[in-house]
Amino acid sequence: MALINIINKELLKNKKMIQEEEENIEDILKSINPWKGFLKGFIVVLFMVIAYVTITYFPSWSILGIVLLILSALFMIPELPDQDKKRQTLSVLKCENIECGNQIVRDYEDGDFVFNISTICPKCNTNFKIIEIYSKKLDKKSEQEKKEKKRNIKVD
């Protein structure tokens, strides 16, 4: 019975992680503005037509045509997505003693990997094993709390 409960808990955690990743993908898709691409394409075509007309029919204004061609080429460069969204990587440690079942979530540290034996459980004095490492998106409130913690550490 205890084994079934442990498996159910692990399945619920995995389901929550998948839901968080799906929410991240939905946020990205919502942020894409469909009119932005259309407007950008329209401006590129407009600049190219004006550049062609300027170079062909008004040779004295050919510099303007060349500048418009350069601007249209610059508009065709794809934009990189914003990398401003902060993420936090966490390690989940679980006591190796099945009866204890103590579990800790802490910040990821260099050298952490799954199934690595880490520290000792304070309840039963057996080893903690890293069972999961994952990353989650921080909201603005979490980012501010993390910055405050760093400031407090530096002051002390």
Q: Is 84 a residue whose pLDDT tops 70? A: no
Alpha helices in the chain (DSSP H): 2-31, 34-57, 62-75, 140-155
| Other beta carbons within 10 Å of 80 | 6
Task: Quote the CA–CA distance of 133 and 114 in Å, as a whole number.
Answer: 7
Q: Is 156 a residue whose pLDDT tops 50? A: no
pTM flag (> 0.75): no
Residues 26-69: tens digit of each pLDDT = 566 566 666 777 888 888 899 899 999 999 998 888 898 899 89
Average pLDDT, the chain: 76
Rg (the chain; Cα; Å): 27
Cβ pair 67, 55 in contact under 8 A: no
- pLDDT for position 144: 59
Cβ pair 107, 88 in contact under 8 A: yes
Q: Is 19 a residue whose pLDDT tops 70? A: no
